Amino acid sequence: MSTSAKGGYHHGDLRAALLSTAMRMLESGETFSLRAIARNAGVSPTAPYRHFPDRNALESALAVQGFGDLEHDLTDGRDLPTSVADLAEFGVTYVDFAMRRPALFRLMFGNPCDNSDDERVRAANALHELLEQALANVVPESDTTALACAGWSLAHGLAFLHLDGKLPADSPEEVADRVRSAFLAMTDIPKERAPRLKPPAARHPGQRRRGTDR
């Protein structure tokens, strides 16, 4: 076979084989452990330690790959966005990535990040810069740093909330629509609303002070 190798005591390219096995397992939802990866790669339980100092390092390597793939999805064959609508499609792609590869996405983000892994940090930064460029392209005269941050956060939050089932995600189209709506709705808010003379009824309806009423 291609990834594993020439079948002797020495494997050939175990590092790559482990990564691809791990990625496959991650995406097929199998339980994810160093030992299981080694098992699936047809190698002894501790062989991975010859190539990765610990589990975290292997995860980081996968995350780096993930960042690359995500960046690829966002850029390949399309121009930088030039309108809010384009931007929304950017968001759709981002969230779609998360939904198609949830475990990988969690691995890339949902972890206390290992900032000691240089390559991983670099990969994450590359993504950040890409997003900033995209935003700068859409709204050149504004505070692009804040905007990039906002755009990224919006997409990121949508991704996680869908992943966690906090927002219904029965079909990809439904999700995509929601992402588009969110992006468009957000830019629709009138900038400075005349502060409506706060009616006293604007108290939180269901408010309860924790432990008192119930």
Binding mask 30-49 for DNA (x = CB under 7 A): -x-xxxx-x----xxxxx-x
In the complex, the smallest distance separating the C-beta of residue 6 from DNA, rounded to whole angstroms, is: 8
7 binds a second copy (CB under 8 A): no
Pick from 2, 6, 28, 196: which binds a second copy (CB under 8 A)? 196
* Least gap, CB of 22 to DNA (angstroms): 10
Which two three-digit tokens encode residue 58? 């292997």
- Do residues 95 and 179 touch, judged by C-beta distance below 8 A? yes
CA-to-CA dists, residue 71 to 64, 66, 74, 183, angstroms: 11, 8, 5, 20
Among 9, 10, 202, 214, contact with a second copy (rule: CB under 8 A): 202
CB of 32 to a second copy, least distance (A): 12
Tell me how far apart the alpha carbons of residues 25 and 11 are, in angstroms, rounded to a whole number: 20
> Interacting stretch for a second copy, rule CB under 8 A, among 9-17, 36-44, 48-56, 150-158?
150-158
Partner whose binding site includes residue 8, from DNA, a second copy, none (CB under 5 to 8 Å by kind): DNA
The answer to whether 214 contacts a second copy (rule: CB under 8 A) is no
Binding of DNA at residue 11 (CB under 7 A)? yes
The token duo for 82 is 């030039």
What 56-59 contacts at long range (C-beta under 8 Å, 24+ apart), as own/partner pairs, is 56/114, 56/117, 57/117, 58/18, 58/19, 58/22, 58/34, 59/107, 59/111, 59/114
Separation of alpha carbons 148 and 127, rounded Å = 11
Nearer to a second copy, 38 or 88 (CB): 88
Residues 73-112 that bind a second copy (CB under 8 A): 75-76, 79-80, 82-84, 102, 106, 109-112
Count interface residues toward DNA (CB under 7 A).
Answer: 24
Residue from 17, 98, 176, 182 touching a second copy (CB under 8 A): that is 182
Query: 25 Cβ partners below 8 Å, 6+ apart?
Result: 31, 32, 36, 37, 40
Q: State how far Cα 166 lies from the chain centre.
A: 16
Per CB under 7 A, residues contacting DNA are 8-12, 14, 31, 33-36, 38, 43-47, 49-51, 53-56
